[in-house]
Structure 1
Amino acid sequence: MTSSIKSRSLEERIDEIESRTAIADIIAGYCEGTDRRDIDRFMSIWHDDAEYLIPGGRGDFRGTAEIRRSQEVIGKVWKETYHWTTNHTARFENADRATGRSDAIAVCVHPDGRISWVACTYHDIYERRSGVWKLARRLVERYFVSAPQDVELLPPF
């Protein structure tokens, strides 16, 4: 929504704030679901007909069955992942649709315990349907995946 504050009602402005909060929860849900291997949390952020696109041979996943399968594919490559997402922007096309972009760095642990660094940008489309914000599309633009490295990982508390 690019109109000025003065041209929008208080209700419209509050709706945008609430929408931004819901969209931020989607971004966190992606990282939390992937990193904690919480498939229910991960799947809760996608619309049924969503697209999860990872170019470079990693896979294009369309619809919830395929998006669910993406986590199995990723789980075979990485034993663990730790995402840090930043620089999130959301631009509203209308009250129920927004585009977004965020950058991420991830530490990805290979099955042998070595780690790779991954840097990417997520290009998103968020839609509110039946009153609920979810991802309609996520395109992953990867910049690099480092060679595996030996790094001492600390045990959990």
Structure 2
Amino acid sequence: MTNPAVTATLEQRIAEIESRTRIGDLVANYCRGVDQREEELFLALWHPDASYLIPGGRGDFHHTDGIRQSLVVIGKAWKSTKHWTTNHVITFESDDVATGRSDCFAICEHHDGRVSLVSATYDDRYERREDGVWRFATRLVTRWFVSAGEEISLLPAF
């Protein structure tokens, strides 16, 4: 079996590194968009026909309007969120299609000030289409646990 890293040209290897970086930015900006409630940024991460799937009662959100509605649902559930994504592994199906899996830990503040800890895994499909920008085609969220709300001391904002 031939090692693709050995047979790929320098240009192909650089293109893959650039794509990995852009996809990493995409995943990081998902956290930023949700946590900072940056709707414009968040919506720019998704293709117009994308699906954002959150089983377990949160809902499945399709296309731009549905994904915009997901922010309303998240806002009703939590006063604020802080997400950290890790263990991100990307597999390329082609130059313009990749899948990814990452784990997420989040601290979510209830509207009454209590805090819950959340663990989840994201299974993603990323596509680079006509405009040359990597975006989510699909994101499936598997939540492993959501702890009961606890009262903890939050530091005041600086």
Per the alignment, do residues 3 and 43 of structure 1 end up closer, same or farther by CA in structure 2, a change over 3 Å counting?
A: farther
Determine the structure 1 residue equivalent to 2:135. 134
Q: Distance in 1 between matches of 2:3 and 2:94?
A: 11
String of CA shifts for 1:38-97, please: whole Å, max 9, x gaps.
001111110000000000111000001100110011101100000011000000011100
Structure 1 counterpart of 2:22: 22
Residue 79 of structure 1: aligned partner = 79
Q: Which runs of 5+ in 2 are unaligned?
A: none
Cα distance, 1:53–1:3 mapped onto 2, change above 3 Å: farther
Aligned length in residues: 156
Deviation of 1:3 (Å): 5.2
**1:41 matched residue in structure 2:** 41
Q: CA deviation at 1:6?
A: 2.2
TM-score relative to the length of structure 2:
0.96
CA drift of 1:10 comes to 1.2
Alpha-carbon displacement from aligned partner over 1:102-156 (angstroms, at most 9, x marks no partner): 0011000000000001100000000010211000000000000000000101111
Give percent identity, aligned residues only.
58
Alpha-carbon RMSD: 1.0
Partner of 2:146: 145
Q: Which runs of structure 1 show a deviation greater than 6 angstroms over 4 or more consecutive aligned residues? A: none
Matched residues in 2 for 1:61 and 1:123: separation? 15
Unaligned runs of 5+ in 1: none
Q: What amino acid does structure 2 have at the position aligned with 1:9?
A: T
Q: 1:68 is matched with which residue?
A: 68
In structure 1, what is the equivalent of residue 108 of structure 2? 108
Q: TM-score, normalised by structure 1?
A: 0.97
Instruction: Show the counterpart of 1:57.
Output: 57
